[in-house]
């Protein structure tokens, strides 16, 4: 116990706070990075302090290691590698770029952040670790002239150590007492006892007159009346022997109690129990991971997205690529052209209820699904698939489609808010369904399709439009079609498990080739005219279309849902 107490005091000292020596950040470093998991203690908290001698404003923040690793990749930084109190922390400089691609302090994934000429951040060593980053708060600045130190609270260690010393002395006294008691109370052999000689004479064998009056003392003795020897003899049935002494049971119980108390105290001082004081602890360094959407972030994302989309639509589509990516951005631009031709105004949907989910990820890029029920039309729910390429970029919506609200699946999230990806067999079904949708849009045959719904909704509407173009009254000589799944986005790698199955998204692109008689002028309506990309003369028109859909599996049933389809572009050849 004395060894344990001395060891504890040598590590944390006798004050309530132990600290490391200040170190100066190397010139040119943009950030100082500390992984909280490397601090080898528990049961207390640590405070990281930073100050700049030149008066620069500093920033301190904590975030998941997935985010900090992404944004600081390739950036000049100082990494704290080893923390030991009260020694100087070990750190190393990693050369790189002067600053990350985006402003570090403006990111939305910071868990906590603060700024000032002197900054400090306290974190609990028993909580889930994060990564702490210190950087210059102003854009274009670095950490030249900045010093950093760490402090750890150790209150209670000295008092507990003194108690341990006192208890050790007391236990040593108890140990000596009980040892001596045990030694003196050992089982010993019973002492032998002599049997008293009988002086009286009575009847029975050998009884008779002795050498008394009237007897010649010198006459020879006979067996009759002979007196037995006084030697000890075994009594088979008369006297009983005393049993051996039993050890004192009360003393044994006391000894066990004191021993147990000694072991418990020793374990407590050695850090084997969860005492609320600083204790040495072996770091458990594991890769960081997190879910794409933390609690409450889904609503913020959808609100920000719809507000930005409204502004962009009102501004003629400028900066649309900041919130949308392929393939959705192609459809939005075409819709804007069609609305302008028809003198209509597009508006972003407003959502009353929002749900989001994604698996946990360990590195960028990441993705997630967002589900929003629109105001004024509670029968439809929009499904969005969004991706984020790095911690320096914002999420962008890659595709969107509607499903009936009563078909909205239930997502099953774990304690961290993450949803498992769809099973591997569902990925194969998505690939098969994409091929079958492409085939149905060409020939209208869905009898061999694995998924239900191909003869409904947007799929059915497109087949009707194609039938009108091929009708006898249309006047066109020939209408051909070719379709294939969209290949620039791997939909099969982005699926989610649901309560009873899985959900994913897909898209098929088609090209219509329409031949017009030479003596006819080309007029396919305002929609085709609005998205025309050239003014070339000719009698062949090619029209590109997009067919987004949602694929859902419930039990053994597979269904593809498409509520609409889109014209993307047209050209004359």
Mean pLDDT of 199-208: 45
Q: For residue 56, what is the domain's CATH number? A: 2.60.120
Query: What would the pLDDT profile of 291-333 be if each residue is shown by its tens digit?
Result: 998 878 888 999 999 999 999 999 999 999 999 999 999 999 9
Per-residue pLDDT band at 226 (split at 50, 70, 90) = very low
Looking at the DSSP assignment, which residues form a beta bridge with residue 52? 146
Q: Is residue 208 part of a domain?
A: no
Out of 104, 123, 153, a domain closes at 153
Q: Residue 440 and residue 437: Cα distance in Å, rounded?
A: 5
- Structurally, how many domains does the chain consist of? 3
Q: Which domain holds residue 65?
A: 17-153
Q: Is residue 115 part of a domain?
A: yes
Q: Which residue shows structure tokens 């009983």?
A: 240
Per-residue pLDDT band at 222 (split at 50, 70, 90) = very low
Q: Is residue 307 part of a domain?
A: yes
Q: Which pLDDT belongs to residue 267?
A: 47
Does the pLDDT value for residue 235 go beyond 50? no
Measured at the CA of 180, the angle between CA 178 and CA 186, to 5 degrees, comes to 100
Q: Which pLDDT belongs to residue 74?
A: 95
Give every strand in the sheet of 380-388, ordered side by side: 351-357, 366-374, 380-388, 396-404
Residue 465 sits in the same domain as residue 335: no
Residue 382 sits in the same domain as residue 482: no
Q: Is 97 helix (H, G, I), strand (E, B) or coil?
A: strand
Q: Which pLDDT belongs to residue 391?
A: 96
Out of 404, 433, 466, a domain closes at 404
Distances (CA, A) of 252 to 174, 243, 327, 506: 13, 21, 81, 77
Query: What would the pLDDT profile of 463-483 be if each residue is shown by its tens digit?
Result: 999 999 998 777 788 999 999
Report which secondary-structure segment, H or E, holds 236: none
Per-residue pLDDT band at 161 (split at 50, 70, 90) = low
Residue 68 sits in the same domain as residue 119: yes
Residue 358 sits in the same domain as residue 437: no
HSE on the CB side for 506, CA within 13 Å? Answer: 25
Query: What would the pLDDT profile of 241-276 be if each residue is shown by its tens digit?
Result: 455 554 454 444 444 444 444 544 554 544 444 455
Residue 400 sits in the same domain as residue 454: no
Residue 367 sits in the same domain as residue 465: no
Per-residue pLDDT band at 446 (split at 50, 70, 90) = very high
Cα-to-chain-centroid distance, residue 248: 57
Q: Residue 556 and residue 267: Cα distance in Å, rounded?
A: 55
Out of 342, 372, 404, a domain closes at 404
For residues 111 and 64, the answer to whether their CB atoms sit within 8 Å is: yes
Q: Which pLDDT belongs to residue 101?
A: 92
Q: What is the 3-state secondary structure (H, E, C) of 176-234?
A: HHHHHHHHHCCCCCCCCCCCCCCCCCCCCCCCCCCCCCCCCCCCCCCCCCCCCCCCCCC
Measured in residues, the chain has a length of 573
Q: Which pLDDT belongs to residue 259?
A: 47
| pTM as predicted | 0.76
Residue 133 sits in the same domain as residue 43: yes
3-state helix, strand, coil in the chain (%, to 5): 25, 30, 45
Q: Is residue 185 part of a domain?
A: no
Residue 438 sits in the same domain as residue 562: yes
Per-residue pLDDT band at 206 (split at 50, 70, 90) = very low
Residue 563 sits in the same domain as residue 434: yes
Residue 312 sits in the same domain as residue 435: no
Q: Which pLDDT belongs to residue 412?
A: 92
Residue 392 sits in the same domain as residue 445: no
Q: Which two tokens stand for residue 200?
A: 């009286």
């Amino acid at each position: 116990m004395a060894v344990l107490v001395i060891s504890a005091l040598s590590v944390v000292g006798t004050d309530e706070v132990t600290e490391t020596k200040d170190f100066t950040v190397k010139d040119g470093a943009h950030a100082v990075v500390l992984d909280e998991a490397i601090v080898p203690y528990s049961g207390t908290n640590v405070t990281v302090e930073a100050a700049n001698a030149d008066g620069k404003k500093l920033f301190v923040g904590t975030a998941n290691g997935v985010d900090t690793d992404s944004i600081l990749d390739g950036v000049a930084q100082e990494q704290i590698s080893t923390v030991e109190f009260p020694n100087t922390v070990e750190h190393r400089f990693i050369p790189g770029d002067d600053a990350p691609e985006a402003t570090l302090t403006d990111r939305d994934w910071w868990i906590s952040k603060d700024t000032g000429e002197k900054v400090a951040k306290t974190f609990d060593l028993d909580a889930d670790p994060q990564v702490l980053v210190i950087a210059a708060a102003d854009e274009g600045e670095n950490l030249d002239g900045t010093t950093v130190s760490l402090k750890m609270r150790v209150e209670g260690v000295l008092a507990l150590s003194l108690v341990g010393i006192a208890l050790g002395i007391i236990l040593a006294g108890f140990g000596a007492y009980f040892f001596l008691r045990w030694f003196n109370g050992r089982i010993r052999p019973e002492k032998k006892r002599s049997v008293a000689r009988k002086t009286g004479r009575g009847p029975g064998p050998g009884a008779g007159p002795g050498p008394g009056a009237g007897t010649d003392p010198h006459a020879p003795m006979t067996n009759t009346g002979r007196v037995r020897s006084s030697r000890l003899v075994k009594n088979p049935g008369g006297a009983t022997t005393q049993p051996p002494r039993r050890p004192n049971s009360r003393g044994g119980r006391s000894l066990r109690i004191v021993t147990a108390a000694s072991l418990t105290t020793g374990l407590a001082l050695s850090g084997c129990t969860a005492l609320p004081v600083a204790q040495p602890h072996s770091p458990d360094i594991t890769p960081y991971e997190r879910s794409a959407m933390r609690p409450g972030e889904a609503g913020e994302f959808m609100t920000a997205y719809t507000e930005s989309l409204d502004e962009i639509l009102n501004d003629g589509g400028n900066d649309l690529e900041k919130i949308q990516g392929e393939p959705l951005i192609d459809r939005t631009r075409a819709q804007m052209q069609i609305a302008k031709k028809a003198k209509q105004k597009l508006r972003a949907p407003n959502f009353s209820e929002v749900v989001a989910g994604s698996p946990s990820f360990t590195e960028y890029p990441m993705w997630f699904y967002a589900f929003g029920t629109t105001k004024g039309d509670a029968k439809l729910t929009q499904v969005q698939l969004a991706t984020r390429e790095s911690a320096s970029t914002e999420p962008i919506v890659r595709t969107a489609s509607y499903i009936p609200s009563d078909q909205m699946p239930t997502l099953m999230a774990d304690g961290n808010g993450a949803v498992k990806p769809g099973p591997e067999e569902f990925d194969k079904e998505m690939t098969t369904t994409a091929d079958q949708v492409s085939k149905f849009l060409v020939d209208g045959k869905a009898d061999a399709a694995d998924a239900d719904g191909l003869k409904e909704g947007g799929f059915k509407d497109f087949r009707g439009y194609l039938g009108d173009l091929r009708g006898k009254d249309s006047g066109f000589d020939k209408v051909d079609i070719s379709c294939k799944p969209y290949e620039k986005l791997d939909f099969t790698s982005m699926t989610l498990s649901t309560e009873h199955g899985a959900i994913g998204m897909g898209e098929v692109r088609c090209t219509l080739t329409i031949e017009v008689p030479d003596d006819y002028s080309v007029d396919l309506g305002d929609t085709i005219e609005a998205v025309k990309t050239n003014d070339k003369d000719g009698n062949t028109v090619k029209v590109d279309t997009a067919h987004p859909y949602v694929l859902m599996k419930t039990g053994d049933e597979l269904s593809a849902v498409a509520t609409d389809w889109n014209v993307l572009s047209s050209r004359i050849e």
